[in-house]
A = this chain, B = another copy of it.
Amino acid sequence: MHIRVQREPFDFGEECGRFGQDGRNVGAVVSFLGVVRDDSGDLASMEIEHYPGMTEKALGAIADAAMSRWDLADLLVIHRFGALAPGEAIMMVATAARHRAAAFEAAEFLMDYLKSRAPFWKKEIRREGSAWVQARDDDEAALGRW
């Protein structure tokens, strides 16, 4: 189980290349990458604030919940903070399991909880002013399925 909270970029390809494929009981690996999107075309940067200390605890608790709910061979969470440019990788999760259902479900569970239960806040810095990203009702609702 690997959890990293960092300012530095990470290399999604490299992480995928070395994650979870060494056990002979791993049949399925799922990974998710979150990228800074620029819908309006005038995003200068995305600033991600977090709560050092609580962030690591919250991610650890979410990861523990996934490990105890599904039979996972391994699990990875990386989340960045600081100023990110459009197109940059924000975060990733990866799960390894015997079967695909567990790997997919655990990855979606991690994402749903990360979105609404890990203390990160995003601010969009645009040429025409800045704004905090609002939490979406359906992100909160997504927790209901677990």
Contact = CB atoms under 8 A, between A and B. Distances in A.
Contacts of A36: 27
12 contacts: A14-B17, A17-B17, A21-B33, A21-B87, A24-B87, A25-B37, A25-B39, A26-B37, A27-B34, A27-B36, A32-B104, A104-B108
As for how many copies of this chain the complex holds, the number is: 2
Given A29-B33, A32-B29, A13 B24 contact: no
Interface residues of A, number: 37
A21 to B, nearest CB: 6
A100 B11 CA distance: 19
Of A13, A34, A104, A107, most buried by chain B (CB within 10 Å of CB) is A13
Interface of A: 11-18, 21-22, 24-39, 41, 86-87, 89, 98, 100, 103-104, 107-108, 111
Contacts of A14: 13, 17
